[in-house]
Structure 1
Amino acid sequence: MLVFDADDTLWENNVVFERVIDDFLEWVAHPTLDRMQLRAVLDDIERANAVTHGYGSKVFLRSLRECLERLRQRPATEAERHEIDDLAVALVTHQVELMPGVADALDQLAGRHELLLLTKGEREEQQRKLDACGLLHHFKTAYIVPEKNVETYREVVREQAVDPARAWMIGNSPRSDILPARAAGWNAVFIPNDNTWVLEHDQLDAADAGVLHLSAFPDLLRHF
Protein backbone atom coordinates (compact mmCIF):
# COMPACT_ATOMS: atom_id res chain seq x y z
CA MET A 1 0.00 0.00 0.00
CA LEU A 2 1.45 3.35 -1.10
CA VAL A 3 0.08 6.41 0.72
CA PHE A 4 0.81 9.86 -0.69
CA ASP A 5 1.00 13.26 0.89
CA ALA A 6 -0.59 15.97 -1.27
CA ASP A 7 0.70 19.53 -0.66
CA ASP A 8 4.31 19.94 -1.82
CA THR A 9 4.50 16.27 -2.80
CA LEU A 10 1.93 15.96 -5.60
CA TRP A 11 1.69 19.71 -6.26
CA GLU A 12 3.33 22.96 -5.21
CA ASN A 13 1.68 24.63 -2.24
CA ASN A 14 3.92 26.32 0.28
CA VAL A 15 5.74 28.37 -2.34
CA VAL A 16 2.56 30.48 -2.65
CA PHE A 17 2.51 31.08 1.11
CA GLU A 18 6.19 32.03 1.00
CA ARG A 19 5.51 34.66 -1.67
CA VAL A 20 2.78 36.16 0.50
CA ILE A 21 5.12 36.15 3.52
CA ASP A 22 7.80 37.96 1.51
CA ASP A 23 5.28 40.62 0.51
CA PHE A 24 3.99 40.87 4.08
CA LEU A 25 7.46 41.33 5.61
CA GLU A 26 8.31 43.98 3.04
CA TRP A 27 5.05 45.81 3.75
CA VAL A 28 5.08 45.60 7.53
CA ALA A 29 8.68 46.83 7.94
CA HIS A 30 10.04 47.59 11.41
CA PRO A 31 12.39 50.22 12.83
CA THR A 32 14.61 47.73 14.73
CA LEU A 33 13.92 44.16 13.55
CA ASP A 34 15.37 42.78 10.31
CA ARG A 35 13.55 40.34 8.02
CA MET A 36 14.98 37.28 9.76
CA GLN A 37 13.81 38.53 13.14
CA LEU A 38 10.40 39.44 11.74
CA ARG A 39 10.10 35.96 10.24
CA ALA A 40 10.97 34.41 13.61
CA VAL A 41 8.07 36.32 15.19
CA LEU A 42 5.69 35.09 12.49
CA ASP A 43 6.96 31.50 12.81
CA ASP A 44 6.27 31.52 16.55
CA ILE A 45 2.74 32.78 15.97
CA GLU A 46 2.10 30.21 13.23
CA ARG A 47 3.41 27.42 15.44
CA ALA A 48 1.00 28.38 18.24
CA ASN A 49 -1.96 28.81 15.89
CA ALA A 50 -1.31 25.44 14.20
CA VAL A 51 -1.75 23.74 17.57
CA THR A 52 -4.91 25.67 18.43
CA HIS A 53 -6.56 26.30 15.07
CA GLY A 54 -5.02 23.88 12.58
CA TYR A 55 -3.79 24.67 9.09
CA GLY A 56 -4.86 26.44 5.92
CA SER A 57 -5.32 29.88 4.45
CA LYS A 58 -7.71 31.15 7.13
CA VAL A 59 -5.33 30.27 9.95
CA PHE A 60 -2.45 31.76 7.96
CA LEU A 61 -4.30 35.08 7.60
CA ARG A 62 -5.02 35.03 11.31
CA SER A 63 -1.29 34.60 11.96
CA LEU A 64 -0.41 37.54 9.69
CA ARG A 65 -2.86 39.80 11.52
CA GLU A 66 -1.60 38.68 14.93
CA CYS A 67 1.98 39.25 13.80
CA LEU A 68 1.16 42.80 12.69
CA GLU A 69 -0.58 43.52 15.99
CA ARG A 70 2.32 42.15 18.01
CA LEU A 71 4.81 44.24 16.07
CA ARG A 72 2.71 47.42 16.19
CA GLN A 73 1.58 46.71 19.77
CA ARG A 74 -2.00 47.64 18.95
CA PRO A 75 -5.03 46.15 17.17
CA ALA A 76 -4.90 46.18 13.38
CA THR A 77 -6.90 48.92 11.71
CA GLU A 78 -9.57 48.10 9.14
CA ALA A 79 -7.26 49.39 6.41
CA GLU A 80 -4.46 47.11 7.61
CA ARG A 81 -6.76 44.08 7.68
CA HIS A 82 -7.79 44.84 4.10
CA GLU A 83 -4.15 45.18 3.10
CA ILE A 84 -3.36 41.74 4.51
CA ASP A 85 -6.38 40.26 2.75
CA ASP A 86 -5.18 41.81 -0.52
CA LEU A 87 -1.70 40.38 -0.03
CA ALA A 88 -3.18 36.91 0.40
CA VAL A 89 -5.47 36.91 -2.65
CA ALA A 90 -3.01 34.54 -4.35
CA LEU A 91 -3.85 31.86 -1.77
CA VAL A 92 -7.46 31.81 -2.93
CA THR A 93 -6.86 32.16 -6.66
CA HIS A 94 -3.84 29.85 -6.92
CA GLN A 95 -4.38 26.95 -9.31
CA VAL A 96 -3.12 23.46 -8.52
CA GLU A 97 0.25 22.97 -10.25
CA LEU A 98 1.38 19.34 -10.29
CA MET A 99 5.00 18.51 -9.61
CA PRO A 100 6.95 17.38 -12.70
CA GLY A 101 6.25 13.77 -13.59
CA VAL A 102 3.53 13.22 -10.99
CA ALA A 103 0.67 12.45 -13.39
CA ASP A 104 2.62 9.91 -15.46
CA ALA A 105 4.17 8.24 -12.41
CA LEU A 106 0.80 7.80 -10.70
CA ASP A 107 -0.65 6.32 -13.89
CA GLN A 108 1.98 3.59 -13.73
CA LEU A 109 1.99 3.11 -9.96
CA ALA A 110 -1.80 2.72 -9.87
CA GLY A 111 -1.47 -0.31 -12.11
CA ARG A 112 0.95 -1.98 -9.72
CA HIS A 113 -0.17 -1.00 -6.22
CA GLU A 114 -3.08 0.14 -4.11
CA LEU A 115 -2.76 3.91 -3.70
CA LEU A 116 -4.18 6.11 -0.93
CA LEU A 117 -3.89 9.82 -0.28
CA LEU A 118 -3.37 11.37 3.15
CA THR A 119 -3.40 15.16 3.54
CA LYS A 120 -3.87 17.46 6.50
CA GLY A 121 -5.52 20.85 6.71
CA GLU A 122 -8.87 22.59 6.60
CA ARG A 123 -11.29 20.14 5.00
CA GLU A 124 -13.02 22.45 2.52
CA GLU A 125 -9.76 23.98 1.33
CA GLN A 126 -8.03 20.62 0.91
CA GLN A 127 -11.05 19.13 -0.84
CA ARG A 128 -11.01 22.00 -3.34
CA LYS A 129 -7.42 21.15 -4.26
CA LEU A 130 -8.17 17.44 -4.46
CA ASP A 131 -11.12 18.07 -6.77
CA ALA A 132 -9.00 20.31 -9.00
CA CYS A 133 -5.90 18.12 -9.23
CA GLY A 134 -7.27 15.56 -11.67
CA LEU A 135 -5.62 12.69 -9.78
CA LEU A 136 -8.31 11.38 -7.46
CA HIS A 137 -9.24 8.46 -9.71
CA HIS A 138 -5.88 6.86 -8.86
CA PHE A 139 -6.62 6.60 -5.14
CA LYS A 140 -8.73 4.03 -3.33
CA THR A 141 -9.32 6.50 -0.48
CA ALA A 142 -8.40 10.13 0.16
CA TYR A 143 -8.05 11.07 3.82
CA ILE A 144 -8.24 14.69 4.97
CA VAL A 145 -7.16 14.90 8.60
CA PRO A 146 -6.55 17.81 11.02
CA GLU A 147 -3.09 16.49 11.96
CA LYS A 148 -0.69 13.76 10.90
CA ASN A 149 0.55 12.09 14.06
CA VAL A 150 1.35 8.52 15.06
CA GLU A 151 -2.27 7.74 15.85
CA THR A 152 -3.35 8.98 12.41
CA TYR A 153 -1.09 6.41 10.76
CA ARG A 154 -2.20 3.65 13.10
CA GLU A 155 -5.83 4.43 12.32
CA VAL A 156 -5.24 4.28 8.56
CA VAL A 157 -3.76 0.77 8.69
CA ARG A 158 -6.54 -0.36 11.01
CA GLU A 159 -9.18 0.91 8.59
CA GLN A 160 -7.40 -0.61 5.60
CA ALA A 161 -6.62 -3.88 7.41
CA VAL A 162 -2.99 -3.71 6.32
CA ASP A 163 0.17 -4.77 8.10
CA PRO A 164 2.03 -1.52 8.93
CA ALA A 165 5.25 -3.07 7.62
CA ARG A 166 3.62 -3.26 4.16
CA ALA A 167 2.60 0.41 4.15
CA TRP A 168 4.70 3.19 2.65
CA MET A 169 4.15 6.89 3.35
CA ILE A 170 5.47 9.13 0.59
CA GLY A 171 5.96 12.82 1.28
CA ASN A 172 8.16 15.88 1.67
CA SER A 173 7.67 16.64 5.37
CA PRO A 174 9.93 14.99 7.95
CA ARG A 175 7.64 16.17 10.74
CA SER A 176 4.28 15.06 9.29
CA ASP A 177 5.04 12.40 6.69
CA ILE A 178 8.18 10.55 7.69
CA LEU A 179 8.74 10.53 11.46
CA PRO A 180 5.18 9.71 12.63
CA ALA A 181 4.79 7.08 9.91
CA ARG A 182 8.01 5.40 11.03
CA ALA A 183 6.91 5.58 14.68
CA ALA A 184 3.71 3.76 13.66
CA GLY A 185 5.71 0.97 12.02
CA TRP A 186 5.37 2.13 8.41
CA ASN A 187 8.10 2.48 5.83
CA ALA A 188 8.52 5.90 4.28
CA VAL A 189 9.79 7.67 1.18
CA PHE A 190 11.21 11.13 1.64
CA ILE A 191 11.07 13.39 -1.43
CA PRO A 192 12.41 16.80 -0.34
CA ASN A 193 10.93 20.04 -1.57
CA ASP A 194 12.96 23.24 -1.34
CA ASN A 195 9.78 25.14 -0.43
CA THR A 196 8.69 22.91 2.47
CA TRP A 197 7.19 24.98 5.31
CA VAL A 198 9.75 25.66 8.02
CA LEU A 199 7.45 24.19 10.67
CA GLU A 200 7.51 20.86 8.81
CA HIS A 201 11.29 20.55 9.04
CA ASP A 202 12.89 17.99 11.35
CA GLN A 203 15.93 15.75 11.52
CA LEU A 204 15.84 12.32 9.91
CA ASP A 205 18.06 9.44 10.95
CA ALA A 206 20.38 8.82 7.99
CA ALA A 207 20.91 5.25 9.21
CA ASP A 208 17.19 4.39 9.21
CA ALA A 209 16.83 1.69 6.56
CA GLY A 210 13.05 2.12 6.66
CA VAL A 211 13.27 5.51 4.93
CA LEU A 212 13.96 5.67 1.21
CA HIS A 213 15.42 9.01 0.11
CA LEU A 214 14.58 10.08 -3.45
CA SER A 215 15.31 13.31 -5.29
CA ALA A 216 12.19 13.51 -7.47
CA PHE A 217 8.72 11.97 -7.69
CA PRO A 218 9.30 9.91 -10.88
CA ASP A 219 12.14 8.09 -9.09
CA LEU A 220 9.41 6.10 -7.33
CA LEU A 221 9.04 4.04 -10.51
CA ARG A 222 12.47 2.50 -9.98
CA HIS A 223 11.43 1.12 -6.57
CA PHE A 224 7.70 0.32 -6.73
Structure 2
Amino acid sequence: MSQGQTLVFDADDTLWENNVVFERVIDDFLGWLAHPTLDRTELRAVLDEVQRANALTHGYGSAMLLRSLGDCAERLRGRPATRAEQDEVEALAAVLIDHRVELIDGVAETLAELGGRYALLLLTKGDLTEQQRKIDTSGLAGHFRAVDIVAEKDGETYRRFIERHGLTAGDSWMIGNSPKSDILPARAAGMNAVFIPNAHTWVLEHSELDPADEGVLRLNGFRELLKHF
Protein backbone atom coordinates (compact mmCIF):
# COMPACT_ATOMS: atom_id res chain seq x y z
CA MET A 1 0.00 0.00 0.00
CA SER A 2 1.18 3.56 -0.68
CA GLN A 3 2.00 6.04 2.07
CA GLY A 4 -0.93 8.18 0.90
CA GLN A 5 -3.51 5.73 2.20
CA THR A 6 -5.75 6.65 5.15
CA LEU A 7 -6.86 3.96 7.60
CA VAL A 8 -10.17 4.46 9.40
CA PHE A 9 -10.95 2.17 12.33
CA ASP A 10 -14.14 1.04 13.99
CA ALA A 11 -13.93 0.79 17.80
CA ASP A 12 -16.29 -1.70 19.49
CA ASP A 13 -15.34 -5.31 18.74
CA THR A 14 -12.57 -4.14 16.41
CA LEU A 15 -10.19 -2.45 18.86
CA TRP A 16 -11.67 -3.81 22.07
CA GLU A 17 -14.18 -6.44 23.12
CA ASN A 18 -17.65 -5.01 23.63
CA ASN A 19 -20.55 -7.22 22.63
CA VAL A 20 -19.30 -10.18 24.65
CA VAL A 21 -20.15 -8.14 27.78
CA PHE A 22 -23.63 -7.38 26.40
CA GLU A 23 -24.11 -11.08 25.64
CA ARG A 24 -23.31 -12.02 29.23
CA VAL A 25 -25.98 -9.60 30.43
CA ILE A 26 -28.47 -10.97 27.91
CA ASP A 27 -27.71 -14.53 28.96
CA ASP A 28 -28.38 -13.64 32.61
CA PHE A 29 -31.57 -11.82 31.60
CA LEU A 30 -32.95 -14.78 29.64
CA GLY A 31 -32.32 -17.01 32.64
CA TRP A 32 -34.04 -14.49 34.90
CA LEU A 33 -37.13 -14.37 32.66
CA ALA A 34 -37.76 -18.10 33.08
CA HIS A 35 -40.69 -18.00 30.67
CA PRO A 36 -43.13 -20.90 31.14
CA THR A 37 -43.55 -21.77 27.42
CA LEU A 38 -40.73 -20.17 25.38
CA ASP A 39 -37.21 -21.55 25.31
CA ARG A 40 -34.08 -19.37 25.27
CA THR A 41 -33.88 -19.29 21.48
CA GLU A 42 -37.45 -18.05 21.23
CA LEU A 43 -36.91 -15.52 24.00
CA ARG A 44 -33.78 -14.23 22.26
CA ALA A 45 -35.73 -13.76 19.03
CA VAL A 46 -38.22 -11.52 20.86
CA LEU A 47 -35.40 -9.53 22.46
CA ASP A 48 -33.65 -9.09 19.11
CA GLU A 49 -36.88 -7.73 17.63
CA VAL A 50 -37.26 -5.29 20.52
CA GLN A 51 -33.64 -4.15 20.19
CA ARG A 52 -33.98 -3.67 16.43
CA ALA A 53 -36.93 -1.33 16.99
CA ASN A 54 -35.31 0.53 19.88
CA ALA A 55 -32.05 1.06 17.98
CA LEU A 56 -33.95 3.05 15.37
CA THR A 57 -35.35 5.50 17.92
CA HIS A 58 -32.91 5.35 20.85
CA GLY A 59 -29.55 4.60 19.23
CA TYR A 60 -27.01 2.12 20.52
CA GLY A 61 -25.25 1.27 23.74
CA SER A 62 -25.97 0.31 27.32
CA ALA A 63 -29.03 2.53 27.76
CA MET A 64 -30.68 1.06 24.69
CA LEU A 65 -30.04 -2.50 25.90
CA LEU A 66 -31.42 -1.70 29.35
CA ARG A 67 -34.55 -0.21 27.80
CA SER A 68 -34.89 -3.26 25.56
CA LEU A 69 -34.61 -5.69 28.46
CA GLY A 70 -37.42 -3.90 30.26
CA ASP A 71 -39.58 -3.68 27.15
CA CYS A 72 -39.01 -7.35 26.39
CA ALA A 73 -40.01 -8.42 29.90
CA GLU A 74 -43.16 -6.31 29.74
CA ARG A 75 -44.12 -7.70 26.32
CA LEU A 76 -43.67 -11.29 27.39
CA ARG A 77 -45.49 -10.84 30.70
CA GLY A 78 -48.26 -8.72 29.23
CA ARG A 79 -48.04 -6.07 31.94
CA PRO A 80 -45.84 -3.22 33.12
CA ALA A 81 -42.83 -4.20 35.19
CA THR A 82 -43.03 -3.76 38.95
CA ARG A 83 -40.49 -1.50 40.66
CA ALA A 84 -38.79 -4.62 42.04
CA GLU A 85 -38.53 -6.11 38.55
CA GLN A 86 -37.11 -2.88 37.17
CA ASP A 87 -34.48 -2.89 39.91
CA GLU A 88 -33.60 -6.50 39.11
CA VAL A 89 -33.14 -5.76 35.40
CA GLU A 90 -31.00 -2.71 36.21
CA ALA A 91 -28.86 -4.83 38.50
CA LEU A 92 -28.32 -7.37 35.71
CA ALA A 93 -27.17 -4.59 33.36
CA ALA A 94 -25.03 -2.68 35.88
CA VAL A 95 -21.84 -4.34 34.63
CA LEU A 96 -22.21 -2.49 31.33
CA ILE A 97 -21.57 0.87 32.97
CA ASP A 98 -18.30 0.10 34.70
CA HIS A 99 -16.71 -2.74 32.77
CA ARG A 100 -13.02 -2.39 32.00
CA VAL A 101 -12.08 -1.88 28.35
CA GLU A 102 -10.37 -5.06 27.16
CA LEU A 103 -8.20 -4.46 24.10
CA ILE A 104 -8.19 -7.15 21.44
CA ASP A 105 -4.86 -8.94 21.16
CA GLY A 106 -2.25 -7.01 19.21
CA VAL A 107 -4.24 -3.81 18.80
CA ALA A 108 -1.96 -1.39 20.67
CA GLU A 109 1.25 -2.60 19.02
CA THR A 110 -0.30 -2.74 15.56
CA LEU A 111 -1.72 0.79 15.78
CA ALA A 112 1.64 2.11 16.99
CA GLU A 113 3.39 0.65 13.95
CA LEU A 114 0.71 1.64 11.45
CA GLY A 115 0.67 5.18 12.83
CA GLY A 116 4.22 5.64 11.68
CA ARG A 117 3.20 4.92 8.10
CA TYR A 118 -0.33 6.24 7.63
CA ALA A 119 -2.88 8.72 8.89
CA LEU A 120 -5.19 6.87 11.29
CA LEU A 121 -8.76 7.96 12.10
CA LEU A 122 -11.45 6.51 14.35
CA LEU A 123 -15.14 6.29 13.44
CA THR A 124 -17.48 4.71 15.97
CA LYS A 125 -21.22 4.79 16.58
CA GLY A 126 -23.17 4.87 19.81
CA ASP A 127 -23.90 7.08 22.78
CA LEU A 128 -21.46 10.00 22.80
CA THR A 129 -20.61 9.88 26.51
CA GLU A 130 -20.33 6.10 26.63
CA GLN A 131 -18.14 5.84 23.55
CA GLN A 132 -15.90 8.69 24.67
CA ARG A 133 -15.37 6.99 28.03
CA LYS A 134 -14.24 3.81 26.31
CA ILE A 135 -11.92 5.72 24.00
CA ASP A 136 -10.40 7.64 26.91
CA THR A 137 -9.86 4.55 29.07
CA SER A 138 -8.53 2.45 26.19
CA GLY A 139 -5.31 4.45 26.00
CA LEU A 140 -5.55 4.45 22.19
CA ALA A 141 -6.78 7.98 21.48
CA GLY A 142 -3.28 9.30 20.78
CA HIS A 143 -2.94 7.06 17.73
CA PHE A 144 -5.72 8.84 15.83
CA ARG A 145 -5.59 12.11 13.94
CA ALA A 146 -9.34 12.50 14.49
CA VAL A 147 -12.12 10.70 16.38
CA ASP A 148 -15.74 10.84 15.22
CA ILE A 149 -18.62 9.43 17.30
CA VAL A 150 -21.83 9.19 15.29
CA ALA A 151 -25.38 8.02 15.90
CA GLU A 152 -25.44 5.69 12.89
CA LYS A 153 -22.98 4.39 10.31
CA ASP A 154 -24.66 4.30 6.91
CA GLY A 155 -23.57 5.36 3.44
CA GLU A 156 -24.39 9.02 4.07
CA THR A 157 -22.38 8.98 7.31
CA TYR A 158 -19.32 7.80 5.39
CA ARG A 159 -19.81 10.36 2.64
CA ARG A 160 -19.96 13.15 5.22
CA PHE A 161 -16.93 11.69 7.01
CA ILE A 162 -14.91 11.66 3.78
CA GLU A 163 -15.82 15.27 3.04
CA ARG A 164 -15.26 16.53 6.59
CA HIS A 165 -11.75 15.09 6.80
CA GLY A 166 -10.74 15.84 3.23
CA LEU A 167 -10.22 12.20 2.30
CA THR A 168 -10.04 10.59 -1.10
CA ALA A 169 -12.48 7.68 -0.93
CA GLY A 170 -10.43 5.40 -3.16
CA ASP A 171 -7.32 5.93 -1.00
CA SER A 172 -9.14 5.24 2.27
CA TRP A 173 -9.80 1.98 4.07
CA MET A 174 -12.53 1.31 6.65
CA ILE A 175 -11.42 -1.39 9.07
CA GLY A 176 -14.00 -3.16 11.21
CA ASN A 177 -15.87 -6.26 12.29
CA SER A 178 -19.41 -5.36 11.23
CA PRO A 179 -20.56 -6.06 7.67
CA LYS A 180 -23.65 -3.90 8.24
CA SER A 181 -21.99 -0.83 9.78
CA ASP A 182 -18.35 -0.96 8.69
CA ILE A 183 -17.97 -2.75 5.39
CA LEU A 184 -21.10 -2.34 3.25
CA PRO A 185 -21.75 1.39 3.84
CA ALA A 186 -18.06 2.23 3.45
CA ARG A 187 -18.02 0.44 0.11
CA ALA A 188 -21.21 2.25 -0.91
CA ALA A 189 -19.38 5.54 -0.25
CA GLY A 190 -16.47 4.47 -2.46
CA MET A 191 -14.01 3.47 0.26
CA ASN A 192 -12.07 0.24 0.42
CA ALA A 193 -12.64 -1.95 3.47
CA VAL A 194 -10.93 -4.48 5.70
CA PHE A 195 -13.18 -7.04 7.35
CA ILE A 196 -11.83 -8.52 10.59
CA PRO A 197 -14.57 -10.77 11.99
CA ASN A 198 -15.23 -11.04 15.70
CA ALA A 199 -16.96 -14.16 17.02
CA HIS A 200 -19.02 -11.98 19.37
CA THR A 201 -20.32 -9.48 16.80
CA TRP A 202 -23.88 -8.42 17.63
CA VAL A 203 -26.42 -10.42 15.62
CA LEU A 204 -28.03 -7.22 14.32
CA GLU A 205 -24.70 -6.22 12.75
CA HIS A 206 -24.55 -9.35 10.61
CA SER A 207 -24.99 -9.08 6.84
CA GLU A 208 -23.76 -10.91 3.77
CA LEU A 209 -20.66 -9.65 1.96
CA ASP A 210 -20.06 -10.15 -1.73
CA PRO A 211 -17.19 -12.67 -1.99
CA ALA A 212 -16.30 -11.26 -5.42
CA ASP A 213 -15.84 -7.68 -4.13
CA GLU A 214 -12.13 -7.00 -4.62
CA GLY A 215 -12.43 -3.80 -2.60
CA VAL A 216 -12.81 -5.81 0.61
CA LEU A 217 -9.75 -7.34 2.26
CA ARG A 218 -10.63 -10.18 4.63
CA LEU A 219 -8.32 -10.90 7.55
CA ASN A 220 -8.42 -13.35 10.44
CA GLY A 221 -6.96 -11.06 13.09
CA PHE A 222 -5.89 -7.50 13.81
CA ARG A 223 -2.15 -8.16 13.64
CA GLU A 224 -2.52 -9.26 10.02
CA LEU A 225 -2.95 -5.60 9.05
CA LEU A 226 0.83 -5.29 9.21
CA LYS A 227 1.18 -7.78 6.35
CA HIS A 228 -0.86 -5.56 4.04
CA PHE A 229 -0.25 -1.96 5.14
Shorter-chain TM range is: over 0.9
Distance in 2 (alpha carbons) for counterparts of 1:205 and 1:98: 29
Question: Is the partner of 2:12 in helix, strand or coil?
Answer: coil
Per the TM alignment, residue 89 of structure 1 is displaced from its structure 2 partner at its CA by 1.4
Per the TM alignment, residue 162 of structure 1 is displaced from its structure 2 partner at its CA by 1.7
Distance in 1 (alpha carbons) for counterparts of 2:138 and 2:42: 36
Q: Which residue of 2 aligns with 1:3?
A: 8
1:213 and 2:218 correspond: yes
Equivalent of 1:149 in 142, 146, 154: 154
1:171 and 2:176 correspond: yes
1:71 and 2:65 correspond: no
Residue ranges of structure 2 left out of the alignment (5+ in a row): 1-5
Q: Which runs of 4+ in 1 moved over 6 A?
A: none
1:115 and 2:125 correspond: no
Scaled by the length of structure 2, what TM-score is found? 0.97
- What letter matches 1:182 in structure 2? R
Per the TM alignment, residue 85 of structure 1 is displaced from its structure 2 partner at its CA by 0.7
> Which range moves more in the overlay, 10-19 or 85-94?
85-94
- What letter matches 2:34 in structure 1? A
Distance in 2 (alpha carbons) for counterparts of 1:142 and 1:162: 14
Question: Is the partner of 1:143 in helix, strand or coil?
Answer: strand
Q: Which residue of 2 aligns with 1:200?
A: 205
1:18 and 2:38 correspond: no
C-alpha deviations, 1:178-209, integer Å up to 9, x for none?
00000000000000000000000000001100
1:127 and 2:126 correspond: no
Equivalent of 1:54 in 52, 55, 59: 59
Distance in 2 (alpha carbons) for counterparts of 1:140 and 1:13: 23
- What letter matches 2:139 in structure 1? G
Per the TM alignment, residue 160 of structure 1 is displaced from its structure 2 partner at its CA by 1.6
Distance in 1 (alpha carbons) for counterparts of 2:69 and 2:165: 39
> Which range moves more in the overlay, 157-166 or 141-150?
157-166
1:162 and 2:171 correspond: no
Question: Is the partner of 1:126 in helix, strand or coil?
Answer: helix
Distance in 1 (alpha carbons) for counterparts of 2:37 and 2:76: 10
Per the TM alignment, residue 161 of structure 1 is displaced from its structure 2 partner at its CA by 1.5
Question: Is the partner of 1:41 in helix, strand or coil?
Answer: helix
Question: Is the partner of 1:204 in helix, strand or coil?
Answer: coil
Equivalent of 2:107 in 93, 102, 111: 102
Question: Is the partner of 2:147 in helix, strand or coil?
Answer: strand
Per the TM alignment, residue 156 of structure 1 is displaced from its structure 2 partner at its CA by 1.1
Per the TM alignment, residue 93 of structure 1 is displaced from its structure 2 partner at its CA by 1.6
Scaled by the length of structure 1, what TM-score is found? 0.99
Q: Which residue of 2 aligns with 1:29?
A: 34
Aligned pair count reads 224
